[in-house]
Amino acid sequence: MDLNYNENQLLYVETVRKLVKNDITPHILEMEKAHRFPWPIIQKAWEMGVINLCIPESVKGFDVDVFSSAAIIKEISYGDTGIATSAMCNDLANVVISQHGTEEQKERFLRPFVEKPLLASFCLTEPGAGSDNSLMTSFIAKRDDGNYVLNGSKCFITNASYASQFTVLCKTGSPAGSFMACVVIPAPSVTAEDIPDVGNATRTIDLPTGGRIVIGKPEDKLGQRLSNTASVTFEDVVVHPDQIIGNRRFGFKYIMDVLDYARPMVAAIGLGLAKRALDVTIAYTAERKQFGQRICDLPVARDMITAMWKKVELAELSLIKAAWKIQEKAKDAGIYASLAKNTCAEAAVFCSTEGLHLHGGYGFTTDYEISKLARDAHIIDIYEGVREVQNMIIGREIV
């Protein structure tokens, strides 16, 4: 395994670092306090080709490998994990199409994201079904004309207020059904010109094929305020057979495939935040003096900075191995995806918490970035499977 970036990967990393340095980190506190959706950053990232990473070469014209994807997401997250989450959600929604869709479905459902800076939503979580997907009640029922009708509600859906397409996991036949399907619901395209900022408004989408989608008011969250999150309700949405991805009974398998892909990407988000927390803490403790010397020269502070650095480095190694396993399509890729997700989330929470502590009282104010990082970190430990679920997966595999 070569741990060095190749020429293409270096180009991606340098491109994203310029975006972060010029457009994100200098304005991040101002952007977060404004609580406006970061369309300008999304558009620039789209123009640079550093979102929609899972779209295959047959549609996009070039491939982005797993290592490059993780590196790109890590660098965006160094600037802001909310922006990275919104960008990564396109892949969360579209990777199942890329992996299991027909060539016609790939062209139909993925091509729009190549042509415009559009956003997608992955609709899995429900109010009564978080970690246990078997409890979901959204379902499709077949009509006499051969089409299906989708009904149900999802919650905590990233990009929902601005999405132009929804990838939905649902039961087949009835809410009590044993099988799950994956369906794609295209909606009228939405860009920054159409909805610059939804604010606290709801959104209703009347679909030309029948039925409607109701998007709830955006969630007021502890952190990641630059990422949009809202509920989504599907009311009598007509689904044609060619909107069903793969086998309509294999939805659970597709969930696992999506999450195995997504967990290292979430790990990359955690790693980016952990690195940022370490860097801002080193910068602060090198500047501020107490007891006649820089805080970073005090043994207790240096020990903590060392512990933060170790967390970051070990997290990066776990991410590299997970990315390699996924790229090689190894049978045990899932366990390493879970390991990377847990390790990087732990690094994010640890580094932001201890970094805030080393900032002292200043860290508890919103004038310092470390307070934002501490708030942002906690969701990384939760979404795409809480740490306990990852430990269940790891425990099941090793015994």
Between CA 97 and CA 102, with CA 99 as vertex, the angle to 5 degrees is 60
**Which amino acid makes up residue 344?**
C
- Helix or strand (DSSP H, E) at 170: strand 163-172
pTM: 0.96
92 and 123 share one domain: no
One DSSP character per residue, 24-53 reads IGGGHHHHHHHT---HHHHHHHHHHT-S-T
304 and 330 share one domain: yes
Rounded CA-CA distance 96/250 in Å is 12
Asked if residue 340 is part of any domain, the answer here is: yes
Taking only the tens place, the pLDDT of each residue in 316-341 is 999 999 999 998 989 999 999 999 99
11 and 84 share one domain: yes
Taking only the tens place, the pLDDT of each residue in 58-91 is 999 998 999 999 999 999 999 999 999 999 999 9
302 and 230 share one domain: no
- On the question of pLDDT at 302 being above 90, the answer is yes
Q: How many domains does the chain have?
A: 3
Taking only the tens place, the pLDDT of each residue in 178-213 is 999 999 999 999 999 999 999 999 999 999 999 999
| Average pLDDT taken over every residue of the chain | 95
What's the pLDDT score for residue 257? 87
Taking only the tens place, the pLDDT of each residue in 337-386 is 999 999 999 999 999 999 999 999 999 999 999 999 999 999 999 998 89
127 and 104 share one domain: no
Rounded CA-CA distance 93/106 in Å is 13
393 and 381 share one domain: yes
Rounded CA-CA distance 25/39 in Å is 16
For residue 20, give every residue at least 6 positions away whose Cβ sits within 8 Å of its Cβ, in sequence order, or none: 75, 76, 78, 79
Rounded CA-CA distance 82/39 in Å is 12
Asked if residue 24 is part of any domain, the answer here is: yes
94 and 148 share one domain: no
Residues in the chain: 399
Q: Both tokens of residue 366?
A: 């919103």
Q: What is the mean pLDDT of residues 305-317?
A: 98
Q: Which of 73, 88, 115 is the last residue of a domain?
A: 115
72 and 139 share one domain: no
**Which amino acid makes up residue 298?**
L
Active site residues: 384
Q: What is the mean pLDDT of residues 114-123?
A: 97
CATH number at residue 339: 1.20.140.10
Asked if residue 27 is part of any domain, the answer here is: yes
Asked if residue 1 is part of any domain, the answer here is: no
What's the pLDDT score for residue 1? 62
Q: What is the mean pLDDT of residues 28-42?
A: 95
Domain region containing 18: 7-115
- On the question of pLDDT at 27 being above 90, the answer is yes
Residue 39 near residue 188 (C-beta atoms within 8 A): no
239 and 155 share one domain: yes
CATH number at residue 104: 1.10.540.10
Proportion of the chain above pLDDT 90, given as a percent: 91
Rounded CA-CA distance 301/117 in Å is 44
* Nearest alpha carbon to residue 234 among 361, 339, 139: 139
Q: Both tokens of residue 182?
A: 């994956």
111 and 69 share one domain: yes
Asked if residue 383 is part of any domain, the answer here is: yes
Residue 186 near residue 165 (C-beta atoms within 8 A): yes
Q: Which of 115, 143, 161 is the last residue of a domain?
A: 115
CATH number at residue 157: 2.40.110.10
Q: Which of 62, 85, 115 is the last residue of a domain?
A: 115
Residue 209 near residue 236 (C-beta atoms within 8 A): no
Asked if residue 220 is part of any domain, the answer here is: yes
352 and 328 share one domain: yes
> Which residue stretches of 246-298 are H helix?
251-287
Distance of alpha carbon 388 from the chain centroid: 19
- Helix or strand (DSSP H, E) at 316: helix 299-327
Mean pLDDT lowest among 12-16, 228-232, 292-296, 327-331: 327-331
Asked if residue 2 is part of any domain, the answer here is: no
Asked if residue 302 is part of any domain, the answer here is: yes
What's the pLDDT score for residue 57? 95
Rounded CA-CA distance 303/350 in Å is 14
109 and 47 share one domain: yes
